[in-house]
């Protein structure tokens, strides 16, 4: 299995402990949208209450690996998938979008289309890069350059870009109310041991420029969604 995983971008095959710790302990039915090789879902499924974990994955090779770990994996494009073909409305109590919405053409429509399949007490977990990171600004202002990379903030497969304000708009458009907001900080865009010190530099004025990813926990807004 390790040889198979080596074929894929390691940035998208991890089990995401930072996302795991946001997921309530009592979840019973989880949908991981953009589940990759199923590493995150596999960890969720190991919980004592043995929740059901389903996934949606675009890449067929990646999905085949995920199928060995999750209860069910749908091979499909989030931009075009009809959720109603595969799932019952109100079925899931947790839907995860872990660094996937920025790779889609219409993240606003995708998030909105998924909401009928979340029950009224359920949670949405979103991890999404912050394009306001200082490395973006420095490259544009001082280098007249937009970096295209194999991973990270400037992954060349990203189609959409978000700041905290536009993430809040994304959630609002889908009828979601943010319950919790966490931040992953980095000094360097790439993995680096010095990134562990980034949180100590994140004073109020600088914080938004050092956030690498925003992590959102949200619920449906309104009388039947926890407001």
Q: What is the pLDDT of residues 34-48, one digit of tens each?
A: 999 999 999 999 999
Is the pLDDT at 103 greater than 90, yes or no? yes
Q: State residue 27's pLDDT score.
A: 95
Neighbour tally for 46: CB within 10 Å? 10
In the predicted model, what is the mean pLDDT of the chain?
90
Calpha distance 114→111 (Å, rounded): 5
Q: What kind of fold does domain 2-220 have according to CATH?
A: Rossmann fold (3.40.50)
Q: For 114-126, what is the mean pLDDT?
A: 97
Higher pLDDT, 56 or 12: 56
Q: State residue 6's pLDDT score.
A: 44
Is the pLDDT at 2 greater than 80, yes or no? no
Is the pLDDT at 176 greater than 70, yes or no? yes
What does pTM read for this prediction? 0.90
User: 164 near 130, Cβ under 8 Å?
Assistant: yes
Q: For 110-130, what is the mean pLDDT?
A: 97
CA-nearest of 136, 94, 137 to 115 is 94
Confidence bin at 55 (pLDDT 50/70/90): very high
Q: Which of 9-13, 81-85, 158-162, 190-194 has the lowest mean pLDDT?
A: 9-13
Higher pLDDT, 208 or 122: 122
Torsion of CA 18, 19, 22, 27, to 10 degrees: -140
Is the pLDDT at 53 greater than 50, yes or no? yes
Tokens standing for 158?
Answer: 């990203």
């Amino acid at each position: 299995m390790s040889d198979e995983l080596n074929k894929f971008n390691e940035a998208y095959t991890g089990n995401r402990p930072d996302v795991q710790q946001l997921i309530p302990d009592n979840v019973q039915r989880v949908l991981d949208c953009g589940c990759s090789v199923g590493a995150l879902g596999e960890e969720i499924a190991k919980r004592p209450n043995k929740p059901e974990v389903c996934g949606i994955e675009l890449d067929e090779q990646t999905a085949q690996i995920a199928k060995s770990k999750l209860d069910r994996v749908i091979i499909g494009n989030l931009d075009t998938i009809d959720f109603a073909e595969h799932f019952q409305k109100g079925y899931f109590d947790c839907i995860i979008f872990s660094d996937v919405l920025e790779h889609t053409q219409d993240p606003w429509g995708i998030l909105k289309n998924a909401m009928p399949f979340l029950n009224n007490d359920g949670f949405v977990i979103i991890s999404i890069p912050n394009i306001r990171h200082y490395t973006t600004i420095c490259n544009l202002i001082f280098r007249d350059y937009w970096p295209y990379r194999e991973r990270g903030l400037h992954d060349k497969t990203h189609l959409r870009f978000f700041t905290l304000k536009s993430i809040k708009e994304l959630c609002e458009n889908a009828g979601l109310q943010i319950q919790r907001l966490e931040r992953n900080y980095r000094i360097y865009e790439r993995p680096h041991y010095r990134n562990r010190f980034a949180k100590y530099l994140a004073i109020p004025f600088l914080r938004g420029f050092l956030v690498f990813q925003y992590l959102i926990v949200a619920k449906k807004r309104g009388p039947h969604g926890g407001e």
